[in-house]
Homo-oligomer: A and B are copies of this chain.
Amino acid sequence: MPQDIPEIIIGRLPLYLRVLTRLEKQGQEFTLSKELGEALNLSPAQIRKDLSQFGELGTRGQGYQIGFLIEKLRQILKLEEIRDMAVIGGGDVGHALARYEGFTNRGFQVTNIFDSDPGKIGSRMTGIVVQSSADMIQVLRENNIKVAILTTPAESAQGVTEQLVEAGVKAILNYAPIELKVPPDVHVEHIDPAVYLQKLSYYLEE
């Protein structure tokens, strides 16, 4: 597989996967770039261009076989085994993530939660015992955890991020309302509800 696929295309693959999974659940066996395009607000040409980066995944006329394309996308995105994740911060968002149903069958599970509050350490959140932030680096290393979800307040987010990097974490999903600085081999995605709301605002009538 070529190593220089634009990040914007990689970012769309999970959206393809979500639509394909829905179509598969509905009992559909094949789909066309037109159908995928309508579901994702992209042109059929863009869909074909995106997917052609990864080889010949469809057939002219017949389109894409859904089960095959799902399998292929899961391979490309390295989702074939369930990855362990640590949630940093046992507050409202951390708690919600610990019992979030949307991770099921999508490649991830929360295995650890860390907090610095002595009142929370040792308590259980959806079966997971909250661990002390003081032990975070060691526990992450010992368990070879590469993915972390950051839910701390904005003011501690950069400091915690530096500890995550030190612990060998390579992927951070950031819920804190702040942009994080990380080395080039660490990837960050930012969950920023205001970005979605601002897009929605465009479509509202005055």
Contacts and interface: CB of A to CB of B under 8 A. Distances in A.
Interface in A154-206: 154, 170-173, 177, 179, 187, 189, 191-206
A17 to B, nearest CB: 7
Nearest to A73: B198
B173 A193 contact: yes
Interface in A112-149: 146-147, 149
Nearest to A102: B177
Interface stretch (A28-36, A56-64, A88-96): A88-96
A45 interface: no
Contact of A197 (B147, B154, B200): B147
B201 A102 contact: no
A199 B92 contact: no
Contacts of A101: 154, 177
Nearest to A39: B179
B14 A194 contact: yes
Contacts of A204: 78, 83, 146-147, 170-171
B199 A14 contact: yes
A76 B202 contact: yes
Given A85-B197, A103-B193, A170-B205, 9 more contacts: A78-B202, A78-B204, A79-B198, A83-B201, A91-B96, A92-B95, A100-B193, A147-B204, A170-B204
Interface of A: 6-8, 10-11, 13-15, 17-18, 22, 41-42, 76-79, 83, 85, 91-93, 95-97, 100-103, 106-108, 146-147, 149, 154, 170-173, 177, 179, 187, 189, 191-206
20 contacts: A6-B41, A10-B199, A14-B195, A14-B196, A14-B198, A18-B195, A77-B202, A79-B198, A83-B197, A83-B204, A97-B193, A102-B194, A107-B197, A146-B204, A170-B204, A171-B197, A171-B203, A173-B197, A187-B203, A189-B196
